[in-house]
Structure 1
């Protein structure tokens, strides 16, 4: 069943034009192209965001950094994302994810390229602050997926986009040292490490252009592409329209809700970003115009049996300002709990991304290159770990309990295992081999917890999803500062730092029992199972 949801023969859409499955090997418009552009953009952003830590031994020696300056730079790097994510959330509601994503990447290209100008500890701290804002790409990444995919598959789509994007940190640890060594063949070391950062900066520019010119904000692009195709056929003298379209055997007559909107985002009367509610009229879609051989069919309407709610487009309207609306979400206990949980999953992941290379270099006395390769394991686990969390959450939602109770059960379980393996990692550091093995399991559960967390987030508030994603995402950044501070306090005593972090995660997991999403709570599911 899970396999058929990810590798189907065709994309199925609900009555709102959102896909109810994922054709992973497709790059067809609009759903799959948006998904792939989303995760690749976040991946490139992550690669640039964490390009500095893999070269920290070289940078430290070149500009005479102190351990305190390195720790402060690590904390500064993630502190910048707190405000950035809160601001970017409402911007996605207003302007759409595509433009916001491209804008952040262009900004990131500028700041990353300036890393080569750093010549002191304060300079490094400053540049890492400005680079850290690129972490806000997480918000349009998740928002984009929620626009394109229906409630029954949103956990998987969100986890896939964010998880594969997070791999950028792992790739940085693997790729950046090799780029440095390549440049060091033709330039002195103090010049080679500075040139290295030009590569991720250029990648950010290329990805921003791809987002602008290749992507679509909302599913309405299907109708626009179809309309353009029929116009071209009519102007070419093809005559009246037939079921298959004159002179084009690739056009297939398929039922699809009438979208009748431009491929770009739609502007409402107040100038805010929105997409129209779709009616039930029937139209056609074309395979030829999309550049992909996918056929898109209408699925059955999403009901309470398949999802907790339909993820309709948000509509800011003429209400309070974006800032007021965003801050008003903090009155919801579920938002605060999920911010805490994301702090203990993604926040912890960011903190470990900052120190994992230094841990292998300092604790096990490995070379910079070998430390980077082993450190890359942590980030590269995202290729399947976070996705597994989303898939498990969606599966549990469909087969265990009602509403989001199944998702909450999986989320609680994964958080508990994350805490236990954190403590296990702290106990395994006497041996390099046992540390690597335990690191793999810890990586899996901390990243899966990110996936299960954001399988729940979209259902907390359906109206202001951008603001909600920004707040919970900012919670991850706050958590990263907290855990970075723990590692700073304990210094090279990494074992104690990981053990304390494990206790914090186990404590935070207990708050899952207080979560109330659309009237459902975890204890209700347990009571039903114990007393059928």
Structure 2
């Protein structure tokens, strides 16, 4: 997909454009009217700045998820070792996602201030510390506290989405955002499989000659993702760029960028009603995914009497759908945008949320293991597709406060996880009823799509396309016909 205003790849000297630039040429087609953002996604290209940032973004977020949920497949063993109740386990699950809420709200405006690269590296390094220290936990309070600090890793989502939104044009930004976030979220599924069925058994074998090899294994296995997080943070800091034109500090030093106020950015995002509608909707898709990451292994373990290894392997399927589903949601949003503009993106959002909510209700009433697994596959696909369509809308809300909007909406995912987690934690609500509450909440959030109104764009019931938007839609339709 390319823009009609793009420049020729590689051979074109970009130095003639306004302001200082780090690179004289780009190995990819760009749109000079959109700050040299890329108009195409070349997955097999790893060159700076655009595609290097793309690959660093998804891989770093993947590692963050690996850290964030490294303990999840070990929960049944930890519960046995520490003698914890289901309520205490759910308290720690809630703490794990609650710790991310503040970080996402904070990191959003900071992205507008200092850029995504440095923040990504810092958060990976900081979250690696509590992950490596999980072996020192001996009480419910200790588990809850350390999981809340590990949850800081989830804040990297803001940098992930900000980074690709800064590198790719609006015409393809939903696809780019969907791919990097989806492949990053894949870390949750890989964690279930890698930690639960490979590393944990391997560490048990290593400690085979000790008094309690199982406990020694879960107390040490999380060192692996912690070390990987530190290495990844150093790599992206040294070998990537904040924007197509260079890093924030370089742009400011050479007078090509002002010094924005993080507080002003937050204020603009906070007072936009679209931000809050999208926050609710993201809570009803990504919040559902986070809840399933915490609940799926235990659900299959308890409901169908499976072993820890078996339940972890099945639960990993939910995360593995991120390999394509979130990117698919973003791609659908981009395609409908080319045909119908913002209304197309909103139609995609509405339909995907309705399908997601309906499948949750069906999952809640499944009665066999095979049936549950099959429904979970499609349920997961629409959960993640809705996440992709949500972040196809986010870059349009307020481009001058992109970081703040990205952070606040992203925090909605964790707020949703806390709300749904409270339902699963309540001993008076069985798991099927908790899933029923979840499904009804998603369907209700879908209705709010009709109230989203983006300046300069015609939405489902309100608004009118600006002259610029109408021109861009005509160009898009011309590209489609060609």
Using structure 2 for the length normalisation, give the TM-score.
0.86
2:330–2:388 contact (8 Å) kept in structure 1: yes
Structure 1 position 275, deviation (Å) = 8.3
Question: Which of 358, 362, 370 is 1:424 aligned to?
Answer: 362
Structure 1 position 220, deviation (Å) = 1.6
Please, which runs of 5 or more residues in structure 2 have no aligned partner?
A: 11-26, 208-212, 465-482
Q: Which residue of 2 aligns with 1:394?
A: 334
Residues 375 and 56 of structure 1: is their aligned pair in 2 closer, same or farther, counting only changes over 3 Å? Answer: same
2:362–2:375 contact (8 Å) kept in structure 1: yes
Please, which runs of 5 or more residues in structure 1 have no aligned partner?
A: 222-262, 278-314, 527-532
Q: Which residue of 1 aligns with 2:225?
A: 200
Question: Which of 368, 373, 380 is 1:436 aligned to?
Answer: 373
1:316–1:464 contact (8 Å) kept in structure 2: no
Q: Distance in 2 between matches of 1:82 and 1:439?
A: 26
Within-5 A mapping of 1:237-276: 265-266=249-250, 268=252, 276=256
Structure 1 position 493, deviation (Å) = 2.5
Structure 1 position 155, deviation (Å) = 0.5
Question: Which of 346, 352, 355 is 2:286 aligned to?
Answer: 346
Q: Distance in 1 between matches of 2:376 and 2:298?
A: 15
Q: Which residue of 1 aligns with 2:388?
A: 451
Q: Distance in 1 between matches of 2:462 and 2:148?
A: 44
Structure 1 position 264, deviation (Å) = 6.1
Structure 1 position 92, deviation (Å) = 1.1
Q: Distance in 2 between matches of 1:323 and 1:170?
A: 36
Q: Which residue of 2 aligns with 1:365?
A: 305
Is residue 2:201 matched to residue 1:185? no
Deviations 1:84-138 (A, max 9, x none): 1111112111111110000000001111101111111110000001001110000
1:218–1:265 contact (8 Å) kept in structure 2: no
Larger Rg: 1
Q: Which residue of 2 aligns with 1:467?
A: 404
Q: Distance in 1 between matches of 2:255 and 2:356?
A: 39
RMSD over aligned Cα, in angstroms? 2.1
Is residue 2:30 matched to residue 1:13? yes
Is residue 2:131 matched to residue 1:112? yes
Structure 1 position 266, deviation (Å) = 2.9
Deviations 1:205-227 (A, max 9, x none): 11101101111111124xxxxxx
Q: Distance in 2 between matches of 1:515 and 1:500?
A: 24
3-state SS, counterpart of residue 29 of structure 2: strand
Q: Which residue of 2 aligns with 1:50?
A: 69
Q: Distance in 1 between matches of 2:263 and 2:411?
A: 14
Q: Distance in 1 between matches of 2:90 and 2:330?
A: 32
Deviations 1:212-271 (A, max 9, x none): 1111111124xxxxxxxxxxxxxxxxxxxxxxxxxxxxxxxxxxxxxxxxx5643537xx
Deviations 1:1-22 (A, max 9, x none): 69xx9xx997211112110010
2:186–2:320 contact (8 Å) kept in structure 1: yes
Structure 1 position 316, deviation (Å) = 5.3
Using structure 1 for the length normalisation, give the TM-score.
0.78
Residues 331 and 25 of structure 1: is their aligned pair in 2 closer, same or farther, counting only changes over 3 Å? Answer: same
3-state SS, counterpart of residue 190 of structure 1: helix
3-state SS, counterpart of residue 150 of structure 2: helix
Within-5 A mapping of 1:81-120: 81-120=100-139
Q: Distance in 2 between matches of 1:102 and 1:62?
A: 34
Structure 1 position 27, deviation (Å) = 0.8
Structure 1 position 492, deviation (Å) = 7.8
